[in-house]
Structure 1
C-alpha cells in the first residue's frame, strides 16, 4: 500500500494517455491501409510489442537511452538532491517516468492496436457504412465519424478489464527502474 501512490502516478497516465491514444491511432492506420505495407509493418511491430516482456523493453531502452546516450535518468522518480519546485519539478518527474511508462505500456499498445484494427475492419463491412459512402460522404469522414466511433465500444470494455493487469505489471517495472517507496514510508532498517 505504501507504493500505491507512485504506482498510480505512472499506471494511470499509461492506461489513459499513451496506451489508448497510441493503440487506437496505430489500429486505425492499420485498418485504413489493410493489406498494404503500412499495415504489415505495424502488424509486425504490434506482434513484437505483444510478445516481448515489458521489463525487457524497459531494460533495453534504459541501456540505450540512459547508459549509452546519457539522455535520460536511469532510475528513481526524481533527481536526488535537486531542490526543484513548480514546472521544473514536474518536468523532472516526467523525465524519470518515460522509461517506466514505455515499459508498462508496450504490451497494451499492441493489444489495443490489433483490437482497433479488427473492430474497424468488421464495422467497415456493415450496411450502414455502404449507405454512408452512397450518400457521398468523404472516406475520411466515414472512417472517423462512423467506423472508428463504433469501434471504440469494445476498446473501452477491454480497457476497463486490463486496468488490474496494468497495476500488477507496475510492480515489476518499479523494481527495474528503482522507483522508491512513497514519501514518509520507513523500512525495517530505518531508511
Structure 2
C-alpha cells in the first residue's frame, strides 16, 4: 500500500450500538440481506452464555453481507448502560500486528493488546484517536502462537488520556 509500511488494510468491521441486538439482527437480515458471520469456530454470536457473562461480555453479533463486509451489533453492557465497545476495526495481517504495535509506541499512543476473543481466532490491538473514538487493528487467523495470547477481557486497560501534538505528530500526557 502506498505510504503504509505497517500493513494496515481495509476496514475489517465496524460496530453499531443496539438496545436489542437480536431484534436488530432481524432488521439487518431483512433490509441488508446480511447473515450471522460464521467460520471454522462457528457462528460469531457472543455474550449470551454463562462463560461470556462471567467475563463481563455483553451480547454482540457479528453480521456479514454478501460482499464480505462485516459489522457488529453491540448490545448494552451488563449493567444496562449503552455499550462502551463501539469501535471501528482495520484489518492487518498476522505478521503486521507487531509492526502496528511498534508504530503506536513510537508515537506515544496508549493501546490495549494484543488480546484475543473467546470463540474466535482474532487477535486485536485497541486504541483511541484524539477525539476518543475507539479503533482496532485486528488479524483474523494465522497469528503466530495464538494459544499464548491472553483473552482481551483478562487484560488491564491503559490510561487512555493523551493529547495529540499535530506538529510533533505524537501523543503526550495531558497537562
Query: For the superposition of Structure 1 and Structure 2, which TM-score range results when normalised by the shorter chain?
Result: under 0.3
| Higher Rg of the two aligned structures | 1
TM-score calculated relative to the size of structure 1? 0.22
- Normalized per residue, the structure richer in strand is 2
